[in-house]
Amino acid sequence: MSHVSRHPARLVTILLIFGSVAVYGCRDFLTQNSSAQGALDESTLLSKAGVEGSLIAAYRTLDCTNSTNANWGCAASGWVWGSVTSDDAYKGSEASDQPQINDIEAYHWSTADAESYLNDKWRASYEGVVRANATLRLLAKVLEASPGAISSADADGIEGEALFLRAHYHFEAWRVWGNIPYYHESDDDFRKPNATSAEVVAEILKDLDAAIAKLPTAPRYGNVGRVTQWTAKAYKGRVQVYAGQFAAALTTLREVRNSGPYALEASFDRVWTGFSEYANGKETILAYQASANDGEPNGNNANYGERLNFPHSGSPFACCGFHQPSQNLVNFYQVDANGLPLALSSATWNARNANFTATDASVPVDPRLDWTVGRDGVPYKDWGVHLPSWIRSSAYGGVYSSKKAMHEAASGAQSSVGWTNTQLNSVNIHIFRYADMLLLLAEAEVEAGSLENARTIVNEIRARAGARVQGCGFTTSSGLTNFAGCTGDTRMAVPIDDPSIKWATYRVGLYPAAAFNSQAAARERVRAERRLELAMEGQRFFDLKRWGIATQTLNDYLTVEKNRRPYLTAAEPFAARHLNFPIPQIQIELSKVGQESRLKQNTGW
């Protein structure tokens, strides 16, 4: 999928035509038969255009769609599941808005409120699976009915893309629930029992291997948002690391790195951005292709899943203040005199309880802090400085704002239509990016004992972090009169030692060999780097879970945060059962054959 706002003849145009192609109702999909729903059925679509449209519909489910967006559990970034459940973020906003997330943040996952969000995540994941399988079935029918209607190269590409998407959607469900059913295009009864976690991993890897064999090395038709053989190989390595298959992951991820299809962006400001020249850049492996101003009257092809997460009404965005960075996360960005994480050398790194603002400029911090977090008195990209009035309820959600998925004022990425259009944009939502992949490779290197290889990777990412830092960005002047050197300075990103910087002391150092002199030390540093690099991107909870440290880390987090955010005093202690979310009860009911539910609930729920 591509930015239709910039490339109107490309893939999203097909999406607008075929958005309901060969899609099966997902609310009740466990009891649906295999007949297509809606105005278009498979006999109508027995053509190359029909198959391609069905495939685009499968891509569209990467983010919330009209069939799954009852709430924001369907967001491409997974901010509810991977961020708010971790030590990275609070739900934010205020207690009465989206109260379902209150229970998710507090680990009360068996309540009706929590289930409503969980069911949306389930529906979104399997909507994607169903659309991918519909594409595979339709492709087979067209090839049988009209040999030669689709070239062998295109047929392979379509099949490979659909298999990849099927693997991805199952992976999303597996990360959340572990023991899930796995669906193939040949399934004609969707009331399937759970596979074990290990069986699901095996099926995902089988689909990825099949996709690798079919996919070209470059995106079909030059559509840079499409998956390729390299996408599938990188994703395969991701799954292998998640599954603890480190030796296999080394082989997979080293090949991707050494072959050079991806690279780090020159500076962090080009990773999450609304500027079209940096969209789908060399760091993008898989992203939801957000599209604004493309003719959709409600802006729903834009960044729908992130639209709640902009600063509130006192800001240029006008709503809604969710997904607020935690004090714990902000404190984690402090560094020592060498520019290395203070959290790795000081037992008191998390002692700060007060608002960390521009008045604390003498405290050295990793520059990624101000590409990730909106802080009072600090320029917010090119929108002026972040102000207290941008926070909906500081007593509830804290004093910081999300920042990565917000567009720049000068980018032209803002939607002109839709509810609160100022919080809709065409910023692509990274689902998997190269820095993430590199750090997974670094983990595999550590587990293999290749500590110097891991250090090289971590230092490569740290060097990029110091390339350019938050600058004045004087596109709007709100609050910037506090910094005389910013007058007329439109540079949003500047060198780390630029004299215009008055709101922070940015410092980022490289690790010496002594810092990676043991496997335990190296493991700790790689894990810290993942948090610094990927914070607020929906990865943190799943990292803690697969590392086996979620229980200790999150209970320690709650012990401190209860004094900062009083509502967390009602949180449930994190326990073994929280390592897998409960399967929505409605899905268990829908899986019944007679009186027996084929889906079984996860342990402890």
Residue 485's pLDDT is what?
80
Same domain, 114 and 209: yes
Into how many domains does the chain fold? 2
Distances (CA, A) of 198 to 171, 205, 244, 544: 12, 11, 11, 19
Tokens 């680990």 found at: 107
Could you report the per-residue pLDDT of 372-425, keeping only the tens digit for each? 999 999 999 999 999 999 999 999 999 999 999 999 999 999 999 999 999 999
List beta partners, residue 284.
Answer: 433
Same domain, 453 and 504: yes
Q: How many helices (H) and strands (E) would you count in the chain?
A: 17, 12
Contacts of residue 42, defined as CB under 8 A and 6 or more positions apart, other chains included, come to 22, 36, 137, 138, 141
- Of 132, 436, 474, 427, nearest to 280 by C-alpha is 427
Residue 174 burial (CB count, 10 A) = 24
Evaluate whether residue 232 is within a structural domain. no
Residue 19's pLDDT is what?
37
CA 124 to chain centre: 14
Confidence class for position 78, pLDDT limits 50, 70, 90: very high
Mean pLDDT of 282-300: 95
The DSSP output letter for 244 is T
Same domain, 358 and 216: no
Residue 70's pLDDT is what?
81
State the alpha helices, DSSP H only, in 75-151: 100-105, 112-145
> Residue 441: which CATH number?
1.25.40.390
Same domain, 200 and 57: yes
Mean pLDDT of 84-94: 98
Cβ atoms of 343 and 414 closer than 8 Å = no
Cβ atoms of 166 and 187 closer than 8 Å = no
Distances (CA, A) of 486 to 198, 408, 494: 55, 17, 12
Same domain, 428 and 503: yes
Q: In terms of residue numbers, what domain contains 496?
A: 304-561
Same domain, 46 and 187: yes
As a whole-number percent, the residues of the chain with pLDDT over 70 amount to 92
Same domain, 203 and 341: no
As a whole-number percent, the residues of the chain with pLDDT over 90 amount to 89
Residue 487's pLDDT is what?
84
Evaluate whether residue 566 is within a structural domain. no
Evaluate whether residue 481 is within a structural domain. yes
Evaluate whether residue 2 is within a structural domain. no
Q: Which two tokens stand for residue 99?
A: 């109260």
Q: What angle do CA 125, 262, 74 make, to 5 degrees?
A: 15
Under DSSP, is residue 221 helix (H, G, I), strand (E, B) or coil? Answer: helix
Evaluate whether residue 184 is within a structural domain. yes
Could you report the per-residue pLDDT of 439-489, keeping only the tens digit for each? 999 999 999 999 999 999 999 999 999 999 999 998 666 666 668 788 889
Evaluate whether residue 252 is within a structural domain. no
pLDDT over 50 at 306, yes or no:
yes
Mean pLDDT of 558-583: 98
Same domain, 217 and 310: no
Phi, psi (deg, nearest 5) at residue 431: -95, -35
Contacts of residue 455, defined as CB under 8 A and 6 or more positions apart, other chains included, come to 511, 513, 515, 516, 522, 525
pLDDT over 80 at 10, yes or no:
no
Same domain, 501 and 592: no
Confidence class for position 44, pLDDT limits 50, 70, 90: confident
pLDDT over 60 at 12, yes or no:
no
**H helix or E strand, kind and range, residue 44:** none
pLDDT over 90 at 250, yes or no:
yes
Same domain, 215 and 341: no
Mean pLDDT of 136-152: 96
Phi, psi (deg, nearest 5) at residue 557: -60, -50
Could you report the per-residue pLDDT of 102-135, keeping only the tens digit for each? 999 999 999 999 999 999 999 999 999 999 999 9
**CA–CA gap between residue 429 and residue 288 (Å, rounded):** 5
Same domain, 77 and 105: yes
Could you report the per-residue pLDDT of 496-527, keeping only the tens digit for each? 999 999 999 999 999 999 999 999 999 999 99
Question: Lowest-pLDDT range, 40-44, 204-208, 420-424, 494-498?
Answer: 40-44
pLDDT over 80 at 37, yes or no:
no
Residue 279's pLDDT is what?
94
pLDDT over 60 at 1, yes or no:
no
**CA–CA gap between residue 602 and residue 473 (Å, rounded):** 49
Under DSSP, is residue 100 helix (H, G, I), strand (E, B) or coil? Answer: helix
DSSP assignment of 554-597: HHHHHHHHHHHSGGGGGPPPP-GGGGSPPPPHHHHHHTEETTEE
Residue 66's pLDDT is what?
81
Evaluate whether residue 97 is within a structural domain. yes
Residue 328's pLDDT is what?
98
Residue 478's pLDDT is what?
66
Evaluate whether residue 414 is within a structural domain. yes
**H helix or E strand, kind and range, residue 506:** strand 505-506
Contacts of residue 62, defined as CB under 8 A and 6 or more positions apart, other chains included, come to 76, 128, 288, 289, 429, 431
Mean pLDDT of 159-180: 98
Same domain, 325 and 209: no
